[in-house]
Structure formats: C-alpha cells, structure tokens
Amino acid sequence: MSSNNIIVREYLSSLKEDTELDYLFPLLLIIMGFRIIQTAKESKGQSQYGKDIVAIGTDEKGDKYRWYFELKGYTDKDISDKNYSIPDGIRESIIEAKDTAFKDSSIPEFNNLPIKIVLVHNGVLKTNIRPTFEGFITREFEDGQFERWDIYFLTDLFSQFLFSEYLLLDSESNRLFKKTLAFLDTPDYDYRDFKNLVKLQFDKINSIKGRAFRKLFATLGLLESLIFHYSKENDNLVPAKECSKHLILSTWHWILSNNLEKRKAVLNEFKKLLNIQYDIFNLYFRKTFQIAKLENGLYAENGLFFEKIGYPIRCFDYLDDVIYFCRLRDNYPHYNFPSKHISKIKNKQKDLIIELIENNSGFYIPIMDNNSIPIIQLFLFIADKNYLRQKDIEFLVSYIFKVIYSINIEKVKHNRFPELYNNLNAVIETIALNEKSEEYCDSSSILIATLLELMVVFNSKEMFEEILKYIDNDLSLQIASISFEEYDVEQLLFEKHLHNEYHVECIERLPKSLKYLKVEKDFESFKKSTKDKIESLHEYRTDKAGYSFLRYLAHSYYKNEILPEEWRQYIE
C-alpha cells in the first residue's frame, strides 16, 4: 500500500458514522456515478431499516441495481461478536435492509431494478465472528446480492475517486504534507509547510460550486484530521492545536473574501472543520488543565534559567487558548446549550480560569507588550455583562492591580518595561546579561496605556496614580487602533499580523495640555477624555454569522491588538 493510501486509510478509520462518514460517503458515490435517492441525513430520526443511503448505480459489470447502503462507523466500525447480534447491530441491520421494501414510483424503472445490499464500515471483519458472518450471508443472499466494503476497499475507492485529483496526486501538496509530518514534533517548528499547504488548497480552487467546492472542504477536513491523528500518536497535541487555528482562520478568511458567510451550504462545511477543532482543544485541555491549575502547574522545574521568561510566556499563551476554547464551546451553535444552563456553565468556566490564574504567578508578569492581548481577552471574558458576578469584579480588580505592581517592580529593580516589539531574543539577552540589549525597546507601551484606560473602567484613581509613579516623561503611551474607512478591517484581522495598518494615539499628555500625564496625574480629566472616545462597536459579518469567537482567536493568533472600542464599552 502506498504512503498516500496509508494517509487516506488513517483518515477514514477516524470518521464517525453520524457525522463525517454520513457526509463523505454520499459524495464518493456521486463522484462514482451513482444517483442518490435518499441519504441518512434526510431520514435522521426515522427508522431507516438498514438503508442509510439508497442509490441507483451500476456494478463493475455494468449491470444497474437499486443499492441499499448501511453505514457502520465509530464504535461499530469493526464487525465483531460484540456488535453482531445486539439490537440494531450488524445482523439486524442487514436483515431489515433485505426484508423492508423501499419504493419510489416517481423514478422510472426504480421499483423493478434488482437489489444489491452493501454493508459499509470503516474497519475490519474480526476473525472471531468471520465464520458466523459468512455463514449468515451465504444462507440469506444469492451470489451478487450482498457486498461488504471495509476500510481497505474504502481506502481504494476514496483514493481513486475523491482525494486523488485534489490532494494526493498533486506533487507540491504531497511534498508539503510529508514535510509537515516529518517536522511535526520538532521543537520550535513554525508549521510553515502546513501553512503553505493550506494556502495551496485555496489557490487551486477556481469554483465555489459543486464538486470543486465539496472536495476543497473534504481536503481541509482530511488535513485537520490527519494532523490531529499524528499529534495524538506523538502524544503532543500542540501541533494539532496550532495547525487547526491556522486552518480555521484561513478558511474563514477565504469565506469572507468570497462573501460566502451567509451561504448555508458553506457554513455547514465550515462547521465540520470546527467539529474537529473542538475535539482537538477538548482533548488538549483534558490532558493539561488538571495539572495546569495546580500551584505553579505551568512552571517547568527543568526549565532552569529560561523559566524567568518561559513561565510567563507559557501562562499567557495558555490563557489565550483556554479563553478561546470556552468561547468556542459556549457560542458555537452546534452545542445548543439550554439558556437556563448557560449562566451555570459560564460561571464554572470563570471559576476554573480564576483558579488557574491564582495558582500560577506567571499570569501576573507581562514581559512583552503584546501580553496586553491575553490580558484584555481575560477582561472581556470575565466582565461579560450578561453573566457578571461580584466575585468576578473583585477578581478582575485584584488581577489587574497585581499586573500593575509587577510592571512597577520590574521598572524599579531593573529599569525596564515590557519589550515593545515582542522580540524574544532581545528579552532573553537582556535578562541573561541583566542589562538592556541594544535590541531591547521599551520607549513606548500599548500595554501600560491600556491598563490606564482600564483604571477608568474600574474608576480607580489610586491605581491610576500608582501606574504613573514609575513612568518616565519620555515613555510614549499608545492606544492602537485601525481605520475602518481606510481598510477592510475584518478581512485583514483574519489574514496576517498588522503593523503598518494600525495607527496609535499617544496619551502621555492630557488633551489641550502641554504637561505630561505623569506630572499632573489628573484622573478626572483623563477619565473625561477617555469617555469622550467611546464609540459603538463595529458590526462584523463574522458576528452576524454567529462566529464572534473567531475574531478573538484571530487577535491572539496573529498578535493584533484588540481594538479599544471593546473595553471602552464597559466605562460608565
């Protein structure tokens, strides 16, 4: 078996009967020339009598049949003594397919065609049931009336008809995918081959209709599932998590670019990719969260010197991920939580995040200026007005104050603020030598400016003045924003890290004043000037489609500062 077939076989073996297999198999039949009469989706919730899919088609001899396909997958993918005789098991499904007639008088000749029954399962026939199974088929069917398509036969069909033209026979895609797998578990790998592979799939598509469209999303699902599979094999889910982020954001960017966010068929395909991402994140946090929320659970004792940097970096990255997963789980319509349970779920999530943060001091130590992104992500998630509790307010106030004290202590002890350009090498060199490297820049700060505005949210003059105690007059305090008139902001956010597109508003001086904010410490004037900047939240196509959580993922993934309109809406 070729390496391509092995890839396809591993993907097919992971499919679940009631979701992915039900979707992909009819697509395969259509490409093979079958006419679909009924699918499992159309008869969902009704008795199917061993007929998940009914179709008209010819066999290898060219003879036309009525085909009844019964799909078994997931826990039933292997035929064994455990699922053979149980209710709705293998034997019962085959008997029902044979005994229950399916007629459609609107299709000429359909009712008069001979019947062929096919058991489709993405597994194997176990040795312990083979004699019983073969005896049953021999007694019940004449030669040619019954077929069994197992994982090996399905692999050949999918390789030949579905994946061959679009992914596996494309030499460049094949090369990039093999490089991705080769480097997948390599430390510090940036997944560039996978990113190029995903881009190539979008570059190749020249139609958003019919077969090309369906095969594009089948290919994306294949890629995401296989990266997940190999990450599980390597017992390292970080590659699956990071590759899934890129694939989801790139796909949504393509959907926005083609104005497809209102197309139901497109969203249905996109949801399948989100299903896989949910499984990835769910397994990742099942494996890590119980340890992470212990005291210093995210601290690596064997990290030695690097933990001065690695610990806070790890904490803020983990915070981005856990908040995104909560948003994905809560807002993704597929899960349809009853409204009366949403508040309970939200509060449980917040309690777990609070426990995580309070047990790991790294969350209080920003070392790079773009740590403002996870800090604001946390604020927006906890401060959600629909589910806000008094304990949430107390936690946020305590957390932000501790972050401020941490920044000030670093300034007093080492005369430095978080590095502006998020240059990790400069941070490492500076901490190792205990003096600022030439590359280390802290002459400006978006993080500190954002914290000053949060003091307006909390109406805390005391902490406002505490921040200003240690700020030099020449420190530029900047609020980052972007012009919606000049740019298609939404598409850009899903595309790349934005540098030239952002503009900054310097707030180190009060409006209509030549004196530095540090000198005057005029909280009331600063509060008034900040309130004057409050504007309505922009309307995003992403939000209207029900995927607002993707915008927050895009901010974290591409390291683009969250826009000030998001937190200014909380100013009273």
Q: What DSSP state is assigned to residue 455?
A: H
Q: How many residues does the structure list for the chain?
A: 572
Q: What is the number of other CB atoms lying within 10 angstroms of the CB of residue 370?
A: 22
pLDDT reported for residue 405: 96
Instruction: Map residue 174 onto helix, strand or coil.
Output: helix
Extract the tokens encoding 185.
Answer: 């578990």
Which residues are registered as beta bridge partners of 119? Answer: 70, 148
Residue 169 has phi, psi (to 5 degrees) of: -95, 0
DSSP state for residue 2 in the 8-state scheme: -
Helices 210-233 and 264-292, axial angle in degrees (round to 10) = 10
C-alpha–C-alpha distance, residues 439 and 419, integer Å:
10
d(CA 332, CA 558): 22
Percent of the chain with pLDDT over 90: 68
Average pLDDT, the chain: 90
Q: What is the largest CA-CA distance in the chain?
A: 97
Average pLDDT over residues 43-69: 80
Of the listed ranges 86-90, 189-193, 196-200, 511-515, the least confidently predicted one is: 511-515
What's the average model confidence in pLDDT over 286-304? Answer: 93
- With a cut of 80, say whether residue 210 has pLDDT above it: no
Q: 3-162 has which fold?
A: Restriction Endonuclease (3.40.91)
Q: What is the DSSP secondary structure assignment for residue 419, as one 8-state letter?
A: B
Beta bridge partners of 392: none
Q: Which residue has the tokens 């993080």?
A: 447
Which one, of 116, 122, 115, 114, lies nearest residue 147 by Cα? 116
Which of the four pLDDT bands, split at 50, 70 and 90, describes residue 45? Answer: very low
**Alpha carbon distance 256, 495 (integer Å):** 11
User: Residue 47: is its pLDDT beyond 70?
Assistant: no
The domain limits of the chain are 3-162, 164-288
All residues at 6 or more sequence positions from 54 whose CB lies less than 8 Å from its CB, including other chains = 36, 37, 38, 66, 67, 68, 69, 102
Q: How far from the centroid of its chain's Cα atoms is residue 480's Cα? A: 26
Quick one: tokens of 24?
Answer: 């992909």
Pairing of strands 444-445, 476-481: parallel
Q: Is pLDDT of 163 > 80?
A: no
Q: What is the DSSP string of 25-40?
A: HHHHHHHTTPEEEE-T
Q: What is the pLDDT of residues 304-338, one digit of tens each?
A: 788 999 999 999 999 999 999 999 998 764 455 56
Give the span between the Cα atoms of 224 and 538, in whole angstroms: 32
The 10s digit of each residue's pLDDT in 90-121 is 999 999 999 988 889 999 889 999 999 999 99
Instruction: Count CA within 13 A, CB hemisphere, residue 11.
Output: 27
**Nearest-angstrom CA–CA distance, 374 and 364:** 11
| Closest C-alpha to 453, from 533, 381, 518 | 533
What is residue 19's predicted lDDT score, i.e. its pLDDT? 59
Distance, in Å, from the CA atom of 219 to the CA atom of 228, rounded to the nearest integer, reads 14
